[in-house]
Amino acid sequence: MMEKRYRWKSEQIRKHVAIVDGKQAPTKVLMNATYLHPYIRQWVQGNVWICDDRIVYVGPNKPKQLDSCEVIDCTNQVLVPGYIEPHAHPFQLYNPHTLAEYAAQHGTTTLINDNLFLFLQLTKKKAFSFLSAMEKQPVTMYWWCRLDPQTEMEGEEHLFSYKNMKGWLENDAVLQVGELTGWPKLLEGDDFVLHWMQEAKKLGKKVEGHFPGASDRTLTKMKLFGADADHESMTGNDVYKRLMHGYTVSLRHSSIRPDLPTLLKEMKQFGIHHYDQCMFTTDGSTPSFYEKGLIDAMIRIALQEGVRDIDAYSMATWNIARYYNIDHLHGSITPGRIAHINVLEHVSNPTPISVLASGQWVKRDGVPVSAFSAVEWDVHGLAPLSLSWDLQMDDLQFSMPLGMYMENSVIIKPYSISIDTSADELSTDHDESFLMLIDRNGKWRVNTILKGFATHVQALVSSYSNTGDIILIGKSKRDLLLAFERMKQVGGGIVLCEHGEVIHDISLPLGGLMSAKPMRELIEEEKTLGELLRARGYTFADPIYTLLFLSSTHLPYIRITPKGIYDVMHKTVLFPTIMR
């Protein structure tokens, strides 16, 4: 794997210098450009010379040679660096390839990605082959290294072995460890997490926190342990506290936490008018949230909230590049950087009309340009889900006394079940549904009741989950069996059934967790699913995140996991899984 942070060989660098000396021609020149210069925090004018994927000159001069060089007149246009998403979860029904392709149309040309899916579902060899394939795309992709699985599962010590962790952390595409969803274990004396945080520091890499609602005391302790940044600010006071403790703060605007307007207003109330230690993130939003853009949409919100344009664009580019120590490649339109450049009609409109990613046009005058190579998914171990077992009516036994009550999209509390769960179908007069998590290999199951999900959903079956196991939610056992068979037939997906019919499905043929369809098609599929669920009584913000977080033990209070019903606050299994 080519070292991402030292990407040009000596021969290429000599060619770049020869272009500056007038001995060779660049491949592209952006003439008469007004561009953002973060070093002096000004909009300046000049010409930008590009050789393949690198900016080789920026200034008043024109190249002496223009043989076979593409010259673009940028008069009355504005250039800004390609935007950076510093906290991407690139497996939220979409996949890293389709997300990157779509993001590029909105000017986001660098993604710093969660590796949890790759870590849990693929061998290290397959995962690294996938990382190498992504390096061939025009958008730049970096990665995190997780330190915990975000749930309770068997065999965790084998997954997070010394060999696996060392391999991931030393990979040049990995910029940080985190996000630290398992930080309470660290406070309780678990040295596993502390060891790898220290190893990250030795390698000059960052440590990202996950500290929702953290007190001053906790923030202080986590800073002493080595945390560098946090993206869990929900109020201006949260931002203020993190800045006061020396954290870099990611300002979030996502499908379950669309907080940016509130954060910016409240930051001003706390006297915060400088944004050098802040950056934007959409925090792995579900597809339909991205219909109006990604980081470009956040810049637009910031401008509307009165943030100075240079600060708004810096929070999407320069601040992130400096924080991750990749500013020699990203974040500015200056010599030596990767040619990720957005062409804007005006500073007030951050959605670009044209986009260069690694020196290639991926969007030109408002029209997408095909620049992404196809991915051979099966080579990387991402084939359709193939289940060699069947679900039986005998599996649908719900005799547990303890149920799970949804307070919102992601917060779940325990409650005592009082309804009769022996029937094949539950009444629509209440919001209680059958809930099962079943091992994708068919070895175990956990059955309970979920209250608050919906009143009229007969059957929803999903191979999309935090652990990759199968979720079944609904009122009708017969419809649950039908939905399961449909999910199995299509090789994984989310299936909604009602009265013996499939009324909607989203096919997820990449390991049962990701779609292979372009984002625009997937957005429509997800919007339809959301509309159908809301029409049947789902009242919360994001049903996709509900499915994802049913097993996620970084959230209170109770979860359904591969070990059973788990009490997050007391760290105990209340009811273990049942072997089939």
Smallest Cα–Cα separation from 477: which of 374, 352, 392, 420? 392
Within-domain flag for 41: no
Taking residues 478-504, what's their average pLDDT?
98
Phi, psi of 265 (to 5 degrees): -65, -45
Q: In this structure, what token pair is assigned to residue 56?
A: 């080789």
CA distance 142 to 342: 20
- pLDDT class for 2, splitting at 50, 70, 90? very low
Q: 322 by DSSP, 3-state: which?
A: helix
Mean pLDDT taken over the chain: 96
> Does residue 436 sit in the same domain as residue 561?
yes
Taking residues 255-270, what's their average pLDDT?
97
pLDDT digits (tens, 9 = 90+) for 446-466: 999 999 999 999 999 999 999
Is the CB of residue 249 less than 8 Å from the CB of residue 230? yes
- Peptide linkage before 152 cis (omega within 30 of 0): no
For a pLDDT cut of 70, what percent of the chain falls above it?
Answer: 99
> Does residue 547 sit in the same domain as residue 451?
yes
Is the CB of residue 229 less than 8 Å from the CB of residue 209? yes
> Does residue 413 sit in the same domain as residue 287?
no
pLDDT digits (tens, 9 = 90+) for 326-344: 999 999 999 999 999 999 9
pLDDT digits (tens, 9 = 90+) for 26-70: 999 999 999 999 999 999 999 999 999 999 999 999 999 998 999
- pLDDT class for 7, splitting at 50, 70, 90? confident
Within-domain flag for 567: yes
Dihedral-angle region of residue 533 (phi above 0 means left; psi in -120 to 50 means alpha; beta otherwise): alpha
CA distance 127 to 211: 28
Q: In this structure, what token pair is assigned to residue 268?
A: 């001003």
In this predicted structure, the answer to whether residue 197 has a pLDDT above a threshold of 90 is yes
In this predicted structure, the answer to whether residue 513 has a pLDDT above a threshold of 90 is yes
> Does residue 322 sit in the same domain as residue 398?
no
In this predicted structure, the answer to whether residue 198 has a pLDDT above a threshold of 80 is yes
Taking residues 517-529, what's their average pLDDT?
98
Within-domain flag for 228: yes
Q: 33 by DSSP, 3-state: which?
A: strand
Taking residues 239-260, what's their average pLDDT?
97
> Does residue 269 sit in the same domain as residue 407?
no
> Does residue 299 sit in the same domain as residue 399?
no
- pLDDT class for 412, splitting at 50, 70, 90? very high
pLDDT digits (tens, 9 = 90+) for 69-112: 999 999 999 999 999 999 999 999 999 999 999 999 999 999 99
CA distance 391 to 385: 15
In this predicted structure, the answer to whether residue 436 has a pLDDT above a threshold of 80 is yes
244: CB partners within 8 A, 6+ apart: none
In this predicted structure, the answer to whether residue 5 has a pLDDT above a threshold of 80 is no
> Does residue 111 sit in the same domain as residue 217?
yes
Q: 23 by DSSP, 3-state: which?
A: coil
Which three-class secondary structure string do you get for 371-392? CCCCCCHHHHCCCCCCCCCCCC
Strand order in the sheet with 558-561: 558-561, 564-567, 572-576
Task: Tally DSSP H helices, then E strands, for the chain.
Answer: 17, 29
In this predicted structure, the answer to whether residue 556 has a pLDDT above a threshold of 80 is yes
Own/partner pairs for 376-379, CB < 8 Å, 24+ apart? 376/133, 377/510, 377/516, 379/129
Q: Which residues of 54-66 are buried (b: 16+ CB within 10 A; e: fewer)?
A: bbbbbeeeebeee
Domain-ending residue, one of 284, 304, 326: 326
Within-domain flag for 349: no
Distances (CA, A) of 410 to 196, 377, 471, 536: 29, 31, 15, 19
> Does residue 321 sit in the same domain as residue 400?
no
CA distance 116 to 122: 10
Within-domain flag for 533: yes
> Does residue 261 sit in the same domain as residue 130?
yes
Domain-ending residue, one of 326, 347, 382: 326
Specify the length of the chain in residues. Answer: 580
Distances (CA, A) of 536 to 219, 475, 485: 42, 11, 22
Q: What is the pLDDT of residue 344?
A: 98
Total domains in the chain come to 2
β 108-113/558-561 pair status:
unpaired
> Does residue 319 sit in the same domain as residue 399?
no
pTM: 0.97
Tell me the β-bridge partners of 71.
Answer: 29
Domain-ending residue, one of 270, 299, 326: 326
CA distance 528 to 94: 16
Structural domain that includes position 87: 82-326
Which three-class secondary structure string do you get for 253-319? CCCCCCCHHHHHHHHHHCCCCCCCCEEEECCCCCHHHHHHCCHHHHHHHHHHCCCCHHHHHHCCCHH
Q: What is the pLDDT of residue 16?
A: 98
> Does residue 279 sit in the same domain as residue 408?
no
pLDDT digits (tens, 9 = 90+) for 267-325: 999 999 999 999 999 999 999 999 999 999 999 999 999 999 999 999 999 999 999 99
CA distance 292 to 107: 12
CATH number of the domain that residue 113 is part of: 3.20.20.140
Within-domain flag for 337: no
In this predicted structure, the answer to whether residue 1 has a pLDDT above a threshold of 50 is no
* CA-only gyration radius of the chain, Å: 25
Q: What is the pLDDT of residue 155?
A: 87
Within-domain flag for 408: yes
> Does residue 319 sit in the same domain as residue 413?
no
363: CB partners within 8 A, 6+ apart: 104, 105, 352, 353, 354, 355, 369
Within-domain flag for 18: no
Smallest Cα–Cα separation from 541: which of 236, 254, 251? 254
